[in-house]
Amino acid sequence: MPFTQLFVLVEGPDDERFVKAILEPRLISHYDWVRYYQFSKKPKRTVKNLLSSLGRMDSADYLYFRDINRAPCVSARKDKVDREYGPLIDRNRIIIVVAEIESWYLAGLDDVACRKLRLDTFARTDDVPKERFNDLKPREFESRIDFMIEVLKRFSADTARLKNRSFDYLMRRITPV
């Protein structure tokens, strides 16, 4: 069986932290090696070069994560990514996070976890932006990162699938039925 590798292109450190903690255990069962690349502060040419290289590698696969931002729908956001990278990017490898990665963090908290963290509960997190997540951080956490780490310790993928459509979509893609 050939050596296979997965490159996970994420916007920044919060996305990487989430993918490593929650998704990597599922991904590693399909790949020998998983590597992360934070692209938000890189020149577009550098990202294009990486995508071009990955397209020429037989043993490499990739996932490209992007927040929906102000796009009206997932398809419109994927269209914008297509225009940015043209034929270098495979539309099927683009994962759009709705609304932002912070909404995925919150989606994985059940009512018990929310009570322990002294948070309001959410039926859905598809419209929770980064700013709302930041406002929810309890005072006992010195930093936003400490809060995120605690959320990940209590995260349930099954709960997140019920609370966030884009997370559920991703899980259906990476987890065989």
User: What tens digit of pLDDT does each residue of 113-161 get?
Assistant: 999 999 989 999 999 999 999 999 999 999 999 999 999 999 999 999 9
Residue 78: name the closest of 169, 171, 177 by CA: 169
Which of the listed residues 97, 112, 136 is the one where a domain comes to its end?
A: 97
Residues 58 and 116 in one domain: no
Unique residue bearing structure tokens 């989430």: 18
pLDDT in tens, 17-61: 999 999 999 998 889 999 999 999 999 999 999 999 999 998 899
Instruction: Quote the crossing angle between the two packed helices 44-56 and 74-85, to the nearest 10°.
Output: 90
Q: Domain residues for 59?
A: 1-97
CB 89 within 8 A of CB 63: no
Number of domains within the chain: 2
CB 128 within 8 A of CB 168: no
State the number of CA atoms in the 13 A half-sphere of 97 facing the CB: 26
Residues 3 and 87 in one domain: yes
pLDDT in tens, 67-92: 999 999 999 999 999 999 999 999 99
Residues 50 and 74 in one domain: yes
Average pLDDT score over the chain: 94
pLDDT of residue 20: 97
pLDDT of residue 177: 43
Which of the listed residues 59, 77, 97 is the one where a domain comes to its end?
A: 97
Unique residue bearing structure tokens 């018990």: 112
- Please name the residues in contact with 101: beta carbons below 8 A apart, sequence gap of 6 or more: 11, 14, 15, 18, 65, 67, 130
Residues 10 and 60 in one domain: yes
